[in-house]
């Protein structure tokens, strides 16, 4: 009986394996099959839906199975989005743009860059319309650039001002005996504050309030110009939630019309000047990019290299999600060794991370500057280690809403000595020398704390000197604006941490000016080589680990999980943004 049971189990298992293999072969055949060619028809409307994750740089996998196994994870590159909008302005087949997006998976600086590009598109004389069943704050900010903004009769505009929330864990640590030992420099360096106290410090509250107001002022000013509503009135709308239903949005001029989706489509047909009975030709942003419109082509031999440094800074190779010194140093060397490369733009979008990796990248920029100019363009965030790798560029250009600064460092070690004591676990150490050491099962010793503190102070002093030299400031001035404090780009230009306000294009123009060239193209770095075997080892068949966790935990809980995982994986002294920021 047991033999038969095992036999049937083996047969059944074999059939399942054959079925999976057959399905895999079909999918692989599809991946290698003919790719559907995107055709942009005459009298088309370009539809902007920005639900996909937007990264500054999102190159496609060179592996033909990349899309199949979600290696590209449905990401959109900001550079391609901006190029597509610019190309649409010159494309005779595109008559206008329709903004039709609720969720925008982009940071505020990225969103502002897209909005500014749409403003430039309007100079072509083509129309921009916007429609949504409801607008959240991000989607409304972007959509407010449109000539006409429309809303579903049952919709609303969630216009309420900016807010952020930080969780504090001190009571949790005391209750369960699991805590972090922290050594830091910088009164504003509050990345570790949630592990030291159960309430926000006045210094932290001061800096958060300051940069939130700075960002809000930028957003409100942009909306005010486009919608011709005073800043005072917009703040009153936010204070009293005067966008909470469709009628109020119309009364307060947040929108131009209250219509259903089919009525909005008729308005697009009228704008394109086709009969209502005809079908509207529309092309999605992703399809438009796929048609080749995500590039600005140039035959110029001279090149400006754009090196994208995006994500947390780690010691090691790095990848599309992380800045590793190996990847960035290799890109810097390749760019400067190319005879066609006349200048480099380092696009930084990072909250920081490993101080050692940051310093190694800083050093390579020093070597690069001796041969060709280096200009930094700051994205959503270029703080702490992100500022460290920026500070010695020939010029630094930031978006007004960029979060930068945070010149400070910290060290953090997990400790479960209280928990292990409660559980009756006793750890005994044997060693050959008396040098200070650390065990998570024992309270931190004064000697080890002193040694770690010395290391933190040494990194902070080096950081100050790097900034002082790079920005041509004295140490005292840098220290006064450092202390781990966060600034927006608009604030940083006033204290000398950045040179100009502008976007990536402005940085490229600046780099070309420093190089003394006027006719040039751009070349993007680094190239990411995605290993299929490595990817498959992390994926349960074709669904990504990230997607499964989001489905199980929900988006908000998944963010908490990612934050805790990131903190638990930190090694060495950190030059990292004071806290994990989610602005709502």
Whether 110 contacts 324, CB under 8 Å? no
* Separation CA 486–CA 407 (nearest Å): 8
Q: Which of 190, 226, 384, 390 is catalytic?
A: 384
Distances (CA, A) of 298 to 83, 520, 521: 13, 7, 5
Q: Are strands 409-415 and 179-185 parallel, antiparallel or unpaired?
A: antiparallel
3-state DSSP assignment of residue 15? helix
Q: How many CB atoms lie within 10 A of CB 321?
A: 12
Angle between helix axes 78-90 and 108-122 (nearest 10 degrees) is 10
Is 250 among the catalytic positions?
A: no
Whether 153 contacts 259, CB under 8 Å? yes
How many degrees, rounded to 5, is the angle at CA 366 between CA 483 and CA 497?
Answer: 35
* Separation CA 97–CA 114 (nearest Å): 13
Whether 466 contacts 388, CB under 8 Å? yes
Is 60 among the catalytic positions?
A: no
* Separation CA 384–CA 350 (nearest Å): 9
Whether 536 contacts 378, CB under 8 Å? no
* Separation CA 100–CA 106 (nearest Å): 15
Whether 98 contacts 47, CB under 8 Å? yes
- What pairs with residue 48 in β-bridges? 99
Q: Which of 95, 138, 179, 189 is catalytic?
A: 189
Tell the residue number behind the tokens 């409100």, with chain if given. 220
Burial class (CB in 10 A: 0-12, 13-18, 19+), 544: middle
Burial class (CB in 10 A: 0-12, 13-18, 19+), 553: middle
- What pairs with residue 378 in β-bridges? 348, 398
Q: Where are the beta strands (DSSP E) in 459-498?
A: 486-488
Q: Please count the helices (runs of H) and the strands (runs of E) in the chain.
A: 21, 22
Cα torsion 533, 537, 538, 541: sign = positive
Which residues are catalytic, by number?
Answer: 189, 384
């Amino acid at each position: 009986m047991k033999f038969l049971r095992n036999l049937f189990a083996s047969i059944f298992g074999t059939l399942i394996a054959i079925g999976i293999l057959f399905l895999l072969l079909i999918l692989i055949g599809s991946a290698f099959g003919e790719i559907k060619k995107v055709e942009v028809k005459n009298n088309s409307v370009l539809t902007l839906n920005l639900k996909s994750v937007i990264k500054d740089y999102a190159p496609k996998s060179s592996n033909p199975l990349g899309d199949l196994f979600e290696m590209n994870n449905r990401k959109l590159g900001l550079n391609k989005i901006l190029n597509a909008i610019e190309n649409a302005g010159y494309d005779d087949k595109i008559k206008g743009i329709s903004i039709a997006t609720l969720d925008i998976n982009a940071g505020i600086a990225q969103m502002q860059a897209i909005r500014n590009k749409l403003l430039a598109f309007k100079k072509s004389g083509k129309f921009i319309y916007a429609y949504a069943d409801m607008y959240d704050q991000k989607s409304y900010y972007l959509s407010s650039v449109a000539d006409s903004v429309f809303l579903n009769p049952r919709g609303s505009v969630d216009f309420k001002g900016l807010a952020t929330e930080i969780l504090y864990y001190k009571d949790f640590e005391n209750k369960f005996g699991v805590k972090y030992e922290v050594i830091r420099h910088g009164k504003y360096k509050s990345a570790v504050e949630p592990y030291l106290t159960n309430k926000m410090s006045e210094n932290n509250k001061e800096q958060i309030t300051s940069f939130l107001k700075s960002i809000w002022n930028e957003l409100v000013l942009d909306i005010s110009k486009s919608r011709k509503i005073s800043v005072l009135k917009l703040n009153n709308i936010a204070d009293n939630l005067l966008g909470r239903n469709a009628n109020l949005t119309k009364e307060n001029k947040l929108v131009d019309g209250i219509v259903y989706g089919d009525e909005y489509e008729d308005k697009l047909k009228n704008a394109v000047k086709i009969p209502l009975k005809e079908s509207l030709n529309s092309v999605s942003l992703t399809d438009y990019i796929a048609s080749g419109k995500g590039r600005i082509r140039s035959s110029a031999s001279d090149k400006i290299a754009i090196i994208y440094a995006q994500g947390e800074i780690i010691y090691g190779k790095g990848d599309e999600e992380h800045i590793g010194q190996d990847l960035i140093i290799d890109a810097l060397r390749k760019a400067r060794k190319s005879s066609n490369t006349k200048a480099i733009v380092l696009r930084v979008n990072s909250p920081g991370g490993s101080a050692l990796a940051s310093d190694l990248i800083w050093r390579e920029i020093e070597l690069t500057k001796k041969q060709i100019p280096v200009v930094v363009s700051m994205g959503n965030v270029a703080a702490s280690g992100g500022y460290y790798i920026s500070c010695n560029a020939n010029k630094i250009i930031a978006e007004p809403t960029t979060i930068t600064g945070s010149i400070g460092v910290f060290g953090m070690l997990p400790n479960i000595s209280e928990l292990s004591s409660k559980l009756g676990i006793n750890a005994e150490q044997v060693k050959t020398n008396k040098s200070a050491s650390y065990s998570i099962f024992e309270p931190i010793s004064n000697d080890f704390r002193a040694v770690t503190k010395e290391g933190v102070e040494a990194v902070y002093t080096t950081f100050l000197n790097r900034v002082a030299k790079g920005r041509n400031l004295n140490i005292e001035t840098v220290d006064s604006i450092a202390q781990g404090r966060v600034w927006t780009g608009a604030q940083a230009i006033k204290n000398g941490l950045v040179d100009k306000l502008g976007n990536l294009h402005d940085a490229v123009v600046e780099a070309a000016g420093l190089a003394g060239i006027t006719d040039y193209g751009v070349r993007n770095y680094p190239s990411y080589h995605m290993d299929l075997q490595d990817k498959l080892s992390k994926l349960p068949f074709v669904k990504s680990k990230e997607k499964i966790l989001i489905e199980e935990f929900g988006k908000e809980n998944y963010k908490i999980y990612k934050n805790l995982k990131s903190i638990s994986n930190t090694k060495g002294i950190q030059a990292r943004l004071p806290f994990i920021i989610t602005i709502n």
